[in-house]
Amino acid sequence: MAQDIGPEVVAYEIIDFAIPAPLTDVPGDVERGWTIVQNAANATCLICHAMPMPWQPDHGNLAPDLAGVGSRYNAAELRLRLVDPKALNPDTIMPAYYQAQGLNRVQEKYVGQTVYSAQDIEDVIAFLLTLTEE
Ligand code: HEC
């Protein structure tokens, strides 16, 4: 019997430390991305990163502040950082939000699944691009 290995992972190509091609045909939705990164049930970024969201009670300091990140990186660079940060830094503690294999300490029910869907990744990128320096 075929095993349910969760959503199919879209193939992507890493070029020059970035993933230039979007994972889906639907443009990223800023509002949806904003909601996703604040969803504590979904491995929230705020555990490690500070973000310009003063209403959030807890911000992590294990990683760079994401304020201004949209000025530092373009969509292609942000895509690789979310999809497979280990491609840039094999020792990073940043989770790979779009890998179904090669992960450590995955709960059994999540084996073979990505943390975010391909569309989630595109929506989070759209939101991060709004975090530009004033
Ligand atoms: C377990 C901690 C952790 C979590 C959770 C995490 N990150 Fe990271 N992230 C890091 C670390 C550490 C770095 C620094 C780069 C490195 O380690 O190579 C980083 C780097 C980044 C960068 C590059 C920032 C820069 O200025 O260079 C972006 C963008 C980013 N993370 C976005 C996110 C988003 C969006 C989320 C949630 C979806 C998230 N991260 C969740 C730890 C984390």
Take atom 43 of ligand 1 and give the residue whose Cα is closest: 94
Residue-wise pLDDT for 44-72, tens only, equals 899 999 999 999 988 999 999 999 999 99
Q: Which atom of ligand 1 is nearest to the CA of 73?
A: 29
Whole-angstrom distance, CA of residue 14 vs CA of residue 78: 12
Spacing, Cα 27 to ligand 1 middle (Å): 22
118-131 confidence digits (pLDDT tens)? 999 999 999 999 99
Which residue owns the Cα nearest ligand 1 atom 34? 45
DSSP 8-state secondary structure symbol assigned to residue 10: P
| Domain range summary for the chain, segments of one domain joined by + | 30-128
- The distance in angstroms from the start CA to the end CA of the chain is 55
Topology (CATH level 3) of domain 30-128: Cytochrome Bc1 Complex; Chain D, domain 2 (1.10.760)
Dihedral of the CA atoms 104, 105, 111, 116 (nearest 10)?
A: -70
Strands (E), 14-67: none
Of residues 91 and 110, more confidently modeled = 91
Measured between alpha carbons, how far is residue 79 from residues 45, 71, 85 in Å?
Answer: 15, 14, 9
Measured from the CB, is residue 63 less than 6 Å from ligand 1?
yes
Rounded CA-CA distance 88/84 in Å is 8
